[in-house]
Amino acid sequence: MSQDYTGHVEPDGDWQDRTDGVLRVRKLSVGQMDNNVYVLACARTGRALLVDAADRPQRLREAIAGVEVLAVVQTHGHWDHIRAWEALREDPGLPIWGHPADGELFPAEVDRALSGGERLAVGDLEVEVLHLPGHTEGSLLYLVHGDQRPHLFSGDTLFPGGPGNTFGSAENHRRIMDGLEAQVFDRLPDDTWVYPGHGDDTTLGAERASLPEWRGRGW
């Protein structure tokens, strides 16, 4: 696995690449909200997914040059994650997939409705879709296994230091915590690499001990 990858990228700055077996990940940050966008690619076939049509469509086009993007997959529908939606749909004509529960947040109907438990074939890769509501009703995470570790693209559902914003809703906080524990922490190892929707990366091992604190604080 690439040793120079740190997971820290600056908004509209250089991207970082890493490889783990046939999995190739490219991370870049776009726009004033420091939105992370990821290119998740099969190194053998060149087939790929683009995670979140966040902003700066020309920059995203540059980031996907040289791979065959099957679709843009949305982690959720908040405005800062969808600003390049229409531009990428028009040029280079990418379909956009997401969970229908965020349909009212999306600027248009998705080209494919995703649901939890689906497995997406991306060349030699299998990408599992996790539906974990709380930040939004349709929040999705994407899990793929490299040769050395699992890789989890968590959107705004999991960050270093805690779950995503549930906007003062105790019920949504309970739901996001239940989902994180059952679908993520209870089934994946500590070395699972977490790629969030904003900011630096983390691992499940770095966050696991804080689960009781997150549960107790109620937000």
Task: Tell me the pLDDT tens digit for each residue of 34-61.
Answer: 999 999 999 999 999 999 999 999 999 9
Whether 2 shows a pLDDT value over 70: the answer reads no
> What whole-number distance in Å separates Cα of residue 60 and Cα of residue 84?
9
Please name each of the domains of the chain with its CATH number: 16-217 (3.60.15.10)
Amino acid at 62: E
- State the pLDDT at residue 134: 97
Which of the 8 DSSP states describes residue 133? Answer: -
What's the predicted TM-score (pTM) here?
0.97
> What whole-number distance in Å separates Cα of residue 44 and Cα of residue 123?
8
Which of the 8 DSSP states describes residue 136? Answer: S
- DSSP per-residue letters across 137-196: TT-EEEEEE-SS-EEEEEETTEETTEEPP-TT-HHHHHHHHHHIIIIIITTS-TT-EEEE
CB 83 within 8 A of CB 162: no
